[in-house]
Each structure stands twice: as structure tokens, then as C-alpha cells.
Structure 1
Amino acid sequence: MKREQLAIFDGQYVRDHLSYPDCIRVVRDAMEALSASTTRQLLRTMIPLGSGRTFAQMPGALGEREMFGAKMISVFADPSSPGLRRHRGVVLLFEPDEGEPVAIADAEEITHIRTAAATAVATDALARADARTLLIVGTGGQARTHLRALPLVRDFDRVHIWGRSFDKAVSLAAEFAAIGAEAVSDLEAATSRADVICTLTTSAEPVILGAWLRPGTHVNLVGSSGPGPVEADNALVAMSRYIADSRASALDAAAEFLVAKQAGVVTDDHIVAEIGEVLLGRVPGRRSADEITLYKSLGHAVQDLAVAAHLYRSSLS
């Protein structure tokens, strides 16, 4: 069944119709399919347009007889907020029977929600079952979506937020007072107390150091999505059980891993699995209570397409 006209899902529609539990389920299925090789996709291509300006394309197909399409976005620095970037664009969805375009969805809102959902999927698979303290590093839009998604997979009784601006951290914590969020100013101390850490920054240099972590911590590196900016040091990369959303993407664009590899600290074999392989039971995730696990999020076309397909199918009912 198809609409008679091209469906347009703007940002407000995505926010209103894409629930976090549904998105977590959709992304989990998509990452399993990616690692099972039932999807088809290419590495993203990025066209530099000058300082702080990039155009990126991420094509893919959810299966041989499934929806296909592409995410196309501009990644521009926000001149009013140095260090912040906006991801504006669309997800274009085609149906598999006649190859007809059926939907265009706001990519910025899908990216915000599905990235947090993917982190939640990885945290559910890799964090200790008794994880109780969450640390969010960053105060932007991704911090907000992660604060909505992560409590769906673990019962946190302490939620700490750190930002370069303490005032912004205080303001964000006030928004999430219902889950007990509080701002912290000492990042090293907060890191040493955390069970789950999510880095959601645009920092060019490490904000989290391996020496700060306690045994059993799970780390989600989310902020850096290409070569260059790093959020964690080589020691953290080397000491962790390193799991990526996509092995091919990590080898191409996972900044923290590439820096550690260039320094001779790790080799390609340090990427022990894709998260989909863990979800499918092909590779163990966490192997002990004291192991430090790391999930590197780069984002993937199959996540965006799966979410857009979910929105489209839901709109038909």
C-alpha cells in the first residue's frame, strides 16, 4: 500500500510520531540486519565546502526487496555558537516494487533521535546490568535526546551532566529534574564515579581520559563522526573492548581509533565486533563485570532509512 502523493515528514512530525521505544526497536533491528549482511550500503561521502561547511551523502538499502534511499545533509558550524554544528537535510525514501520515491523526512530530527536510540541499544547490550550512574558529557541537542533514551534501558539513580559551560549544564539538568539530573563541574571526578558515559561534544581534543575510568565502565563515543576531532585519549581506546556500529565505517572515520592506530597503540583487530554482531549473539559483548566496554557511534544510513520507513508505514495505518 502506498500514498498517492509523496509523504513529507517535517521536524515536528518526526518529533510527534517517532517514540523513543519504537526508535530503539527499529534501530536494534537495523543494526542486526547490517551485521547479517542483509542490507546494502556504501560508506558516506563528504564534500568540503569551506571552513566549517560540509555536504554529506549516505546511500543504502534495507534489503534486496526492501525500502532504499539516501540521507543527504549539510553539516555547518553555527556562527552564533562557536563549537556547535547543525545537521540539516533530508532522508529520501523509495519503495522497492516500482522504485518510486514515497517519502521525504527531516534528517536533523531523525538523526537526533535515532543516534540516541542507537546509543541506548549499545548500552543495553554492553553496560553492566547494575549500572546506576550515568554521565552525559555535552549540553547540546544530542544530550537532550540521550537523556530521554538511556533511562529506557537502565534504571539510573544518578544522572550527571558536564559541559564546558557550567551554566548550560545547570540549565539542562533543570530540564531533566524528573530523572534526578544534576550538573557537575569536575569531569574527572564524575568520570571516576560513572557506570555509563556518553560523550556528545564537538571537542577537537580528548575530554575523557582512560586513567579516569573505574573498572566496569561502559563508554559511548558519539560526538566525533569523522577523522580529526577526538573525545577520548589513546589509553581509553587501548584499554577498552572496542565495538563499532560498522567495522568498515570505523576503519574509515572513527577518529579516536584512527589516532590510536597511527600512534601504534592498537591495530585493526582491536575492533572486536559490530554492535549488530553482539546483538545477534555472534560475538560476546561484555565478558566480565570489570571489563571496560566502548561503543563507537558514527551513524549509518540503514538507521536513518529504517526510521524513515517506520514513519512511512505508520502513516499508512
Structure 2
Amino acid sequence: MSGTSATNDGVLVLDRARTRAALDTRRVMEAVEAALIAIGRGEVSAPPRIAAHTPAGLLGAMPGWVPGLGLAAKLVTVTGDPARPGRSSHRGMVALFDEHDGRPLALMDAESLTAVRTAAAATHSAWALARPGARRFTVVGTGAQARAQIALLAELRPDAEVVVAGRDPLRAREAAALHPAAHVGDGIEAAVRRADVVFCCTGATSPVVRRAWLAPGTHVSSVGGSHGPELDADTVRDATLFAEWPGAAVSAPPAGAHELQRLSPGRPVALLGSVLSGDHPGRGDGAGLTVFKSTGHAALDVAAAHVAHAVARSAGWGTIVDL
């Protein structure tokens, strides 16, 4: 299939490397914030994620529209690794369309886009919900999502204390090398106990963070757990809860979160976007726990795809095809 200059009309195709290069960190942070606020204000059109399940994992479909950012759809597989329990891969593609006339604009790698936009949402939760002055960050996990989180912290908070905790010491050292002030923790429990903020980025099927390990006032951002809960029930019970969208608590997985499926009637789950817009006060009690439970949301894919498309078109990256 032949390609032409990226300045012509047609569909821009970005491979994995160009997709990642086009995801400018600060522009993605701004776009994800706008998308989260739009979700909180009910301005987004995005049905709950659906999935086809296989013995190996699932294929999820996530279409969404965010005013001013665009219209996009993601097809992504989440596949467990039988040889390495607790680890999974996310692969697929994101298609971006013109929100006004429906023209397909771009096709790009979903794995790198998902990792960056998820890290951006998790980081917004930390900035908005952690106690003032929080600077000790623990990242639980050593896979692609954990590495994306560490790399983003390296850009935004290179002076912060970052501890990486995982089951594989070699992978933990490799991940920690992405941040100039990071080091490998002495086990997950010890790393969590000394943290102001915990980023939980695993493919866990059972809890990897326990309530007893969390100091008063800790903020936890849990973005993994597609196959089961990352957090134990006691953590969920004691925390003030936040999510990207209301369906995180009322929809069954894979659309909703495993941790939020059995909340007591009337238990509130606030939207992170409402905190970012100032419509919700956020943490409140400085000594209390806060938990942001991410399930992923199509609006965040739209936000990141919007940035990647704009950056790549400006730089002349990618291949134009007639679709």
C-alpha cells in the first residue's frame, strides 16, 4: 500500500513509534482534563464499553464523542499471559473521525495511546486529591502502564521521590530507570506504607494493595485490575471514592470496576472531572483516604487521539491512505 505526504487529504496512519512520539505530555494532560470535565458535566456521548470474551481475554469496543476534541473509537484486546499470572497486554487501534462531517481522519496505535492517557488521568487524580505537599509516590507494577506512569512523573515531577514496587526485581529496576529520582522498593507492602500517593498499575486478579498498609491521608490511584480487583474491600470501604464516569460503579465489568460492584446503597462515587472543574470539593478530610478507580473511558481516547493527530499532522509524520 503506497503512502503520500501527510499534508494531503485522506486517513493518517501512525505506527506505534509515531503514535507515542505524537502524544505530547502537556497537551495530553490538558486534553484529558478537558475530557474529564466534559464527562462530569454530562457533555460526552460514550456508551458503556462492550466486549467479546475469549479464553485468552477480551476484545473491547469504546466509541466516544467529546465536543471540541472529536469523535473516535477504540478496538482493544486485553489478553492475559498464562506464563506470567497478573500480567496482560493491551493491543489494538484507535480511529479518529471529524466530529462535524464524519470523515475518518486518523488510525493509530491503541496500546501506547491508552497507556499515556491513563497515566494522565491518574496523575490528574493525584494532583487534585492528594494532600498538599505530597511528594512520595509509589508505583505498584512494572508493566507498560506502570512504565507510562513513571515516565510521565519524570516529565512533570522529576524531583519527586518515586518508589517502584513489583514482583520482578529486574523489571522493577528497568522501570525505575525511567525517572531520575526513582528507586526500587523493598517489596510492595513497605513501598505502599511510606507513600503519600500510590499508583496501582497492574494486571491483578486479586488485591495487591491492602488497607492496613495505607497511612492516613494517602491517595490511591488504581488504573489496573481489568481481570479482578487491585484493591481490597477494606480500602474501598474506608476511602472517599472517585471515578471517571458514573458507570464505574453501576456497570458490570469490563465497563465497570471490579472494586465498585458491591457498594452499599447510596454510597457516593464522585467524578474526577467534577473535582477538576471545581464543582466538587474533592478530598475534604486531610486524614482520610481517597481512591480514584479508573476503568478507562472513551472520552480519554478521544482526547489523546486529538492531540496525536494534531501533532503528527503538524510534524508531517505518518502515512496518508485512501479509506
Per the TM superposition, whether the score is higher than 0.5 is yes
Contact 2:22 2:307 in 1 (8 A): no
1:48 counterpart = 2:53: yes
User: Which residue of structure 1 aligns with residue 320 of structure 2?
Assistant: none
User: Which residue of structure 2 aligns with residue 239 of structure 1?
Assistant: 238
User: Which residue of structure 1 aligns with residue 26 of structure 2?
Assistant: 21
Distance 1:218 1:155 in 2: 20
User: Which residue of structure 1 aligns with residue 4 of structure 2?
Assistant: none
Equivalent position SS for 1:41: coil
Equivalent position SS for 1:97: coil
Contact 1:21 1:152 in 2 (8 A): no
1:214-234 Cα deviation digits (max 9, x unpaired): 111000111113xx5111111
Q: How does 1:262-277 map to 2 (within 5 A)?
A: 266-277=263-274
Contact 2:37 2:277 in 1 (8 A): yes
1:8 counterpart = 2:13: yes
Distance 1:268 1:137 in 2: 31
1:308 counterpart = 2:313: no
Distance 2:278 2:59 in 1: 36
Q: CA deviation at 1:70?
A: 0.9
Q: CA deviation at 1:79?
A: 5.4
Distance 2:265 2:110 in 1: 31
Distance 1:315 1:20 in 2: 14
Equivalent position SS for 1:273: strand
1:284 counterpart = 2:281: yes
One-letter identity of the residue aligned with 1:230: P
User: Which residue of structure 2 aligns with residue 176 of structure 1?
Assistant: 178
More displaced 10-residue stretch of structure 1: 210-219 or 280-289: 280-289
1:165-221 Cα deviation digits (max 9, x unpaired): 223223322x2351x211123322222210000111112111111111111100011
Distance 1:302 1:152 in 2: 23
Q: CA deviation at 1:164?
A: 1.2
Contact 2:150 2:179 in 1 (8 A): no
Task: Among all aligned residue pairs of Structure 1 and Structure 2, give the percentage whose two residues are the same amino acid.
Answer: 34
Distance 2:178 2:102 in 1: 44
- TM-score under structure 2 normalisation? 0.88
Contact 1:206 1:231 in 2 (8 A): yes
Distance 2:89 2:268 in 1: 29
Distance 2:42 2:249 in 1: 17
Structural RMSD (CA): 2.0
Mark the runs of 5 or more structure 2 residues left unpaired by the alignment: 1-6, 315-323
Equivalent position SS for 2:42: coil
Q: Which has the higher helix share?
A: 1
Contact 1:138 1:201 in 2 (8 A): yes
User: Which residue of structure 1 aligns with residue 186 of structure 2?
Assistant: 185
User: Which residue of structure 2 aligns with residue 142 of structure 1?
Assistant: 145
Mark the runs of 5 or more structure 1 residues left unpaired by the alignment: none
Q: CA deviation at 1:67?
A: 2.3
**Structure 2 vs 1, CA of residues 155 and 177 (structure 1 numbering), >3 Å: closer, same or farther?**
closer
Q: CA deviation at 1:157?
A: 3.7
Q: How does 1:1-317 map to 2 (within 5 A)?
A: 3-49=8-54, 51-63=55-67, 67-78=70-81, 81-150=84-153, 157-173=160-176, 175-176=177-178, 178=180, 180-225=181-226, 229-252=228-251, 253-258=256-261, 261=262, 266-317=263-314
Equivalent position SS for 1:238: helix
Number of equivalenced pairs: 304
Equivalent position SS for 2:131: coil
Distance 1:162 1:316 in 2: 38
